[in-house]
Amino acid sequence: MSYFKKLLYNIGLFVSRNGLLITASAAALTAFSLLAAILSINAQKADQSLFIPEPQNQIISTSTVSSLTSSELNTTTHTTTAPKIGYNVAAQPDNDNVFVKVTDYIPTIHIELKYATTDNISGKVIYDFTDAYLRYGTVKKLAKVQEQLLTQGCSLKIWDAYRPPYAQFVLWEAYPNAKYVANPYSGYSSHSRGGCVDVTLVTASGEDIEMPTGFDDFSSRADRDYSDVTSGAKSNALLLENTMKDNGFKPYFSEWWHFNDTVTYDIEEQFIP
C-alpha cells in the first residue's frame, strides 16, 4: 500500500471508530494538511543531511609544525632574502661598470642636479636631464653612505653625478680655472667617468642643513680646511667627508662637495642619460 493510501485508510479508520461525522471533502482536506506537514518535516531533515559545515581555522603548535614536512603542511617553502637598507628592488647588474639611475637603487636619496638649472657657475642650463646616473659599483658604495647617514637623521643630496664630456667645455668657457674646473682641452673631468659625485647633506625629508658654502662657490671657504666656516658647518662637512671616505670615496680638497670613487673607470662618451 502506498504511503498516501495508507494515510487515507488510517484517517477513515479513525473516523469510523470514533463515530465522527465528517464529509469526504473535509477528510480529504485534513489528509492533505497532514501530508504537507509530513513532507515539510522530511524536507527539513534532507536539508540538514546536505549541510556541510565551513572549515574552522586550526591552530598548530610550533612543536607540531617543526615535526611536519612541507608536503604534510601542503605548502611551498620559500626562501626570502630581505633587500639591503637603502636599496630598491631593482635588477642587480653583474658588472660594476654599468651605468644605472641612482634612485633605482637608493630611493631615499635626494637629487637636485645643478647643471640642469641656472644655479651654477655658468648661470646656464648645461644639460637637459634631471636624473642622476653613476656606475653601478659607485652606486653600491653610495648606498652604504646613505644607510649610515639615515641613522643620524640626515641624507645625501646629489648636485652632480655623470657629466657628459660636452658639458665640460661650457663650464670651462664660464670659469677657466683648473683648480675648480677641469680643462677639457687637456683632459676629461672625472665626472665623465661615472664614478665621481658632488653631494651635500640635507635632512632625511630633504631640507637644507648648514654646510660651508653653496654649490660652485669657488672661494676659500669651499676647501676642506674648515677654519673659516662655522662650527656647525664644519661638523656637518666632516660627517659627510668621513662617511664617504669610510665607504670607498676620495675627497677633493678644494671642493668639500666633490668625491671620487677610489675605483677609476674609463671615460664614457657614448652614454646618454
Question: Which residues form the domain of 218?
Answer: 99-261
Distance CA(261)–CA(47), nearest Å, equals 77
pLDDT at 33: 54
Chain mean position to CA 125:
32
114: Cβ contacts below 8 Å, ≥ 6 apart: 120, 159, 160, 198, 215, 216
Instruction: Tell me if 87 is assigned to some domain.
Output: no
Please state, as a whole number, how many other Cβ atoms lie within 10 Å of the Cβ of residue 32.
Answer: 12
Looking at the structure, do residues 193 and 253 belong to the same domain, yes or no? yes
Residue 150, CA distances (Å) to 71, 201, 220 in order: 43, 11, 30
- Asked if residue 204 belongs to a domain, the reply is yes
Same domain, 67 and 178: no
Cell readout for 6 is: 495508507
Q: Helix, strand, or coil here: 250? A: strand
Q: Please state, in angstroms and rounded to a whole number, the distance separating the CA atoms of residues 254 and 112.
A: 21
Read off the DSSP letter of residue 82: P
Residue 91's pLDDT is 77
The predicted structure's pLDDT at residue 79:
32
Is residue 140 located within the same domain as residue 184? yes
- Helix and strand counts by DSSP (H, E) for the chain: 7, 7
156 and 48 within one domain = no
Residue numbers annotated as active site: 255
Q: Answer for the pair 222, 196: CB distance below 8 angstroms, yes or no.
A: no
> In the prediction, which pLDDT does 82 show?
33
- Chain centre to alpha carbon of residue 108: 10
CA distance 189 to 267: 9
How many Cβ atoms from other residues are within 10 Å of residue 252's Cβ?
Answer: 16
Looking at the structure, tell me whether residues 123 and 67 fall in a common domain: no
Same-domain pairing of 60 and 186: no
Query: What pLDDT sits at residue 190?
Result: 96
Number of structural domains the chain divides into: 2
10-residue averages of pLDDT along the chain (273 residues)? 50 46 43 50 45 36 35 33 45 92 98 98 97 98 98 98 97 97 95 98 98 97 97 98 98 98 95 93
Task: Work out the number of other CB atoms within 10 angstroms of the CB of residue 39.
Answer: 10
pLDDT score at 47: 45
pTM of the model: 0.68
For residue 93, give the 3-state DSSP assignment: coil
